[in-house]
Each structure stands twice: as C-alpha cells, then as structure tokens.
Chains A and B, each alone.
Chain A
Amino acid sequence: MDAKEVIARRIALELKSGNLVNLGIGMPTLVANYLPAGIQVFFQAENGLIGMQPLPEAGLVDDYLADAGGSFIGAVPGACSFDSCFSFGLIRGGHLDITVLGCLQVDEQGLIANWTIPGKMVPGMGGAMDLVTGTKRVIVAMTHTVKGQPKILKKCNLPLTSVRPASLIVTELAVLKPTAEGLVLLERAPGVTVEEIVAATEAALIVPPDVPEMQLAA
C-alpha cells in the first residue's frame, strides 16, 4: 500500500452519513474510493454541484458537468446545481461538514500553507482560502515529508491559506490533531514507531503514553 492509499483509507473513516464533503483536486479525491459500506455522503464540487461522482464510463461525458479541475464527472440521484455565490455560501456559511485538502506545509498550531510558493508557483488560491476558513472540519491529506524534508514545521515559511487551523492532519505515518497546547500525536500508521514520526517532524509533538495504530478503511 503506497502513502496516498494509506492516507485516503484513513481519512475515509472520518466521513459520516449525511455529511456534505468537499475533496480537493489530486490525492484527496482518492478518499471517495474507500468510503465504508453503508456510509452515505454528498460530495460538493465548488464550481456548483452537490452530488458529484466519478464519470460512470469514459463515453458518458456531459459537456456541462465537470469538477473544479475541469475534469468531466457524473452526478448521483438527488444531486443539485447552483451558482458560485451559493456554492461559497455553503462553504463559508458553515454548511460544508468536511473539506479534505492537500498541503505544502502545516505548522505547530495546525495552520496551513497550500496555495503558493512565491516566485515559483503562482496558481492563485482558487477556493482554498474559503474552504479552510469556513468548513466545519478541515482535514489535511499530505505526505509527511517531501524529498526527506519535514512538511510539519514549527512555523510555515510559505504564505498561509487562513488563520483558521486544520482540524486533523493525516499522513502516511501519523494522525495529528492541532490543539491549543500543540500538535497531539493521535495515531501511528501500521508498523511505524513514535520515534520515526518524531524524527520526520520539525514541529514539537505532544505524545500521549499510548499511541494506537491507525485503522484503515477496507
């Protein structure tokens, strides 16, 4: 099982029936593949849809139905469409239960940087700032390190996405929860030790006496 799959299978367990969920482009979209049996959620596409699903077959493209990355999608029964103001009203207004986002850096307070590397990458923030600021639960899905360097830092050196911290951080090594006291190590990936997690993390971690192995969705 590769890093992305571990992360997606763990985050899938956070989704509860009835949730409205927004999955970021890239790794976060994998979470939908591991939704546990019996759990019914609606996925939002911030370009204007509740009820997105993957394109059922390659030949069934609807020219007017795409996700926020411009890829063609399908829609579940009960789906509905709306304009961009309404879509971001759902997001900022606290109607969106969970957003799962990729990140470049996270810091000791759980603050996220995920939209720009000044001078190198200037894609624009798109919906990221609204999603992190307004969603009830913000779940970070990212690899623990990049090229051997920690991404969970004492302080982000890239521009922040919001002053609102993440609710949960899931990597291929660990599950971390930002609290007022600092980052708590909640779970470790199967076969990974607390020492390995601490060594791969620049931020200080609060390590409880017992750190259980993370459960993964089938």
Chain B
Amino acid sequence: MQKSIGLAAAVERIPDGASVMIGGFMGIGSPHRLIGELVRQGRKDLTVIANDTARPGFGIGRLIDVKAVKRLVASHIGTNPETQRQLIAGEMAVELCPQGTLAERIRAAGYGLGGVLTPTGVGTVVAEDEREIEVDGKKFLLALPLAADFALIAGHRADYYGNLDYALTARNFNPLMAMAGATVIAEAAEIVPVGVIPPDEVVTPAVLVDYLVARENSDGR
C-alpha cells in the first residue's frame, strides 16, 4: 500500500471543476505545495471550500489570483481584496458562512450526520435561506453537511503510513477536512518513521489519508 505520490501526479488526479476543501487559516496550515501545483498546472473552475482566501500571492490567494476558483464557500474574505473584487464583479460565486457553522458543516459531512443545529445566525440575513428549527423553545438553524471531491490538507509531521500531527494554530480546519473529502491528499513539513508520532499524538489517522505528497529533497520540495 504505497502512500506517497509525487506532487505533480497528486494534482493531476484533481480535474477541472472539482470541489476541493483546502485546510489553513490565513494561509497558516495551508498545503502550500499543493496550491502552488494547482496553479502551475492551470486547474480551473474549482469549487473551493476553505475558511478564508488569505491574501493575494499567499495561500489560497494564489488560486484567486489566477482565477482558478468558480465558486467559493468561506467565512471570511476581508483580507483579500481580489476575492472581494471578483465577487462584486460577478466573476466568482461566493457563499459566506459563519466560521463555527462552516466548521460544523464540514464535520457533519465527515461524521455521517444529516446536519447540525446552531443558534448562530438566527434572526440575521444568514437565516434567510435556512431552515429554522425550535428545540425546547430555543431557535436554531439547520446547518447542512458540506463534503467535497478532494480535501487538500497540511500536517506538521506525517509518518510513512500517513498518520498526521499538527502544529499549534496550523491545525484549524485540516483534521475536519480529512474526514469530509472523498479523496484526501496530505502534505507535511516533515516525514518521519512509523512510531515517531506516538498513538496519543496522531490527530489524523493514516486510514483517512489517500495520498501523502512525497518529499524528495531536504528543502521540502
């Protein structure tokens, strides 16, 4: 069961028009090599599900720069003026979702749930297209599961099997997306022998990772 795959070969598996979840928060914990390769291969018409689009020239902002994204589901685009410009110009469809709700929608898909009830957004504009459900006199919105064809995630360390751990705030959406993508492609800052990451510290088990992007040089490429 070979887990590792070359960077180009990994991205070749992702067709134009695919839905792609991408980990990271303002680019911290984003799979920067996979993003760079999507740009290099000229992938287009992607549906991207991510917390944010970082900023021009960085993280998911690089996909926005080259107009590779047809539709975006995110919680925050305020740090990327190009994303806002494409939204206002009608060049890209953007669905904005409260951050906690976005996380729960991704979790729901990965955990096999039909949705999650959240009080966030009740009585606001985000409730307009949502179902409101009352439980014991309290109002909630039904947040529906959000899955994708691919999840592109970044771990801190990966072992030879593909078990992953994460570093500090680089964890964010990565472990959630590893459960919710039909095909999960992971890159890691370090690749270590099996056993170096103790069982208690594995956050994303190897069985969830379909492909681990190979590192061929000590400089991480």
Q: A-side interface residues toward B, CB under 8 Å? A: 45-49, 62-70, 75, 81-85, 87-88, 91-92, 121-130, 133-134, 159-163
Contacts and interface: CB of A to CB of B under 8 A. Distances in A.
Given A84-B176, A129-B124, A64 B156 contact: yes
Given A48-B169, A75-B168, A88-B104, A127 B29 contact: no
A122 B74 CA distance: 12
Interface string B144-171: 0000000000001000000000111111
* Size bracket of the B interface: 35 or more
A129 B29 CA distance: 24
B84 A45 contact: no
A41 B42 CA distance: 48
A126 B101 contact: no
Interface stretch (B5-13, B75-83, B191-199): B75-83
A48 B171 contact: yes
A125 B98 contact: yes
Given A81-B168, A88-B100, A124 B122 contact: no
A8 B72 CA distance: 36
A54 to B, nearest CB: 15
Interface stretch (B20-28, B33-41, B62-70, B208-216): B20-28
A217 B203 CA distance: 42
A121 B120 CA distance: 21
27 contacts: A45-B169, A48-B171, A49-B169, A62-B168, A65-B167, A68-B26, A70-B28, A83-B173, A83-B174, A84-B25, A84-B51, A84-B172, A85-B107, A88-B99, A122-B84, A122-B87, A124-B78, A125-B76, A125-B96, A125-B99, A126-B78, A126-B99, A127-B99, A130-B101, A133-B120, A160-B124, A160-B125
A62 B156 CA distance: 13
B202 to A, nearest CB: 14
Nearest to B156: A64
B103 A129 contact: no
A64 B28 contact: yes
